[in-house]
Amino acid sequence: MPGTDFLQLDASAAPHHGLADWLTSALRTGVADGRLAIGAKLPASRALAEQLGVSRGVVVEAYRRLTDEGLLSGRRGGGTSVSATVAVRDKEPTAPAPATGGLDLSPGLPDLSSFPRQAWLRAEREVLAALPAAELGYGDPRGTVALREALSAWLSRTRGIRADPAEIVIVNGVAQGLSLLMQTLYEAGTRTVAFEDPGSAGTRDQVRHWGHEVVPVPVDDDGIDVDALRATGAAHVVVTPAHQYPTGVVLGAARRRALVQWARDGGLVVEDDYDAEHRYDRPPVAALQPMAPDHVVHFGTVSKTLAPALRIGWMIAPAALRAEIIERKRWSDMTSPALGQLTLARMITTGAFERHLRLVRARHRERRDALLAALDRHLPTATVHGVAAGLHLMVVLPDVTDDVALVDRARELGVLVHPLAWHRTRPGPAGLVVGYAASTPDRITEGVRRIAAALE
């Protein structure tokens, strides 16, 4: 395959079955490093395809993906040009950043620069063009029918959940859904909630905020220890079975059955399905909710797939709790904003959301691989967990006794990362929880190098 003077592209270096991915990455890099400035015209798709010796469809697909990301724009007769730059945080600094900024490898954020701006705008325009005026009024506290119907089909296909649209409640992120649930349980007399240990510090603090005592339950390579859960005497537990936070383990089949039996014996499982869509080296894991729909409260969100700023999440609660939760939602804010819901519904039903997921999975896999390579090079004694899925890795450091102090030293070198101690209640090995989705491979590599320097 020939090359071209444009960006010195050489299609012979691309994988035969990944030409569109290769060209998309090369063009994105050209925007990021300044070779393609805002306003720069790109070659016509047919001309570039001829120069590279590839099908025109490869170039069209690459241009479309970058247009959806908001980096390119095009109009009939006017060609395709660069319309935005890659976020500043994706550019390599020339010196260590100050403690308040720099290289942010904190877990929890997706790649916000990949938000599908053009696809979202297109879906929003289509929604507004067809939206009856009556739909602009106060709505159902459960959320719009369109989104609940779209989610019903989506969750059935991707998570194995069979929920009628009437059973789904749209909330302003999992945070609001969890607060509604914890208030409901508190008013019903609950004062103790079991929680995975280690587990998400933010979620744990929120449960405590609503008046509950949090009881830690150990997690091992098969997930939460159900025998230890029974021993606590707690009747409610918060779990992350598809991708345990922060260890990354999947709840094993035997543990799933044991946890479901525990729930059927009178317990309630709160399933946080926070990043189940992000997987790289393993097949999808079904949600827990279908195994015991009368004993599981299921939470999902687009904060890790699109952006936290959208504040769109959903919950599916057993019938015994649903009416009270809907009533609390009504008195909390009447209903969640409708326009974003309708736009998301449109993206789901047209396939735009699924196309976006395919794009970001490939991008996140590349960044995960960069993090693994950097850890192998700069922290060779570390043990890495949670490689197959998610947006972060748990890194256990045998040579460290105080991971909080290590994180403080790393911050002084301009790197932000979580100590494992933040997410523990009981004593355990020192380590780090490192996010990789929101940083480019070169910044990830530099961040790990600085963490190693802080360790030294």
Q: Which residues of 16-49 are buried (b: 16+ CB within 10 A; e: fewer)?
A: eeebbbbbbbbbbebbbeeebeeeeebbebeebb
CA distances for 442 relative to 69, 183, 433, angstroms: 20, 44, 19
| Among 150, 110, 148, CA closest to 364 | 110
Per-residue model confidence (pLDDT) at position 72: 87
Q: Report the interhelical angle of 45-52 vs 56-68 (nearest 10°).
A: 130
User: Hey, what amino acid is at 131?
Assistant: L
- Round to whole Å and give the CA distance between 215 and 354: 38
Collapsing DSSP to helix, strand or coil, 39 comes out as coil
Contact by Cβ (8 Å): 73, 81? yes
Per-residue model confidence (pLDDT) at position 353: 97
User: Hey, what amino acid is at 303?
Assistant: S
Per-residue model confidence (pLDDT) at position 172: 97
Contact by Cβ (8 Å): 61, 376? no
- Round to whole Å and give the CA distance between 115 and 396: 32
* DSSP tag of 53: T
In which residue are the tokens 């590839």 written? 54
Ramachandran bin of 385, using left for φ above 0, alpha for ψ from -120 to 50, beta for the remaining angles = beta
- Enter the pTM of the model: 0.79
Per-residue model confidence (pLDDT) at position 99: 42
User: Could you read off the pLDDT tens digit of each residue along the chain, which spans 456 residues?
Assistant: 455 778 888 887 777 677 888 898 889 888 887 888 888 899 998 999 898 888 999 999 888 888 866 788 877 667 898 887 654 333 333 333 334 447 999 998 889 989 999 999 999 999 999 999 989 999 999 999 999 999 999 999 999 999 999 999 999 999 999 999 999 999 999 999 999 999 999 999 999 999 999 999 999 999 999 999 999 999 999 999 999 999 999 999 999 999 999 999 999 999 999 998 898 888 888 999 999 999 999 999 999 999 999 999 999 999 999 999 999 999 999 999 999 999 999 999 999 999 999 999 999 999 999 999 999 999 999 999 999 999 999 999 998 889 999 999 999 999 999 999 999 999 999 999 999 999 999 999 999 999 999 998
Per-residue model confidence (pLDDT) at position 31: 86
Backbone angles phi, psi at 216, to 5 degrees: -75, 140
User: Hey, what amino acid is at 259?
Assistant: L
Per-residue model confidence (pLDDT) at position 331: 96
Per-residue model confidence (pLDDT) at position 85: 64
Per-residue model confidence (pLDDT) at position 90: 34
- Round to whole Å and give the CA distance between 101 and 85: 20
DSSP per-residue string spanning 306-360: T-GGG--EEEE--HHHHHHHHHHHHHHHSS--HHHHHHHHHHHHHTHHHHHHHHH
Instruction: Map out the domains of the chain with their CATH numbers.
Output: 6-86 (1.10.10.10), 103-109+354-455 (3.90.1150.10), 119-350 (3.40.640.10)
Contact by Cβ (8 Å): 436, 364? yes
The burial of 300, by beta-carbon neighbours within 10 Å (0-12 exposed, 13-18 middle, 19 or more buried), is given as buried
In which residue are the tokens 């009939």 written? 76
254: tokens are: 């035997």
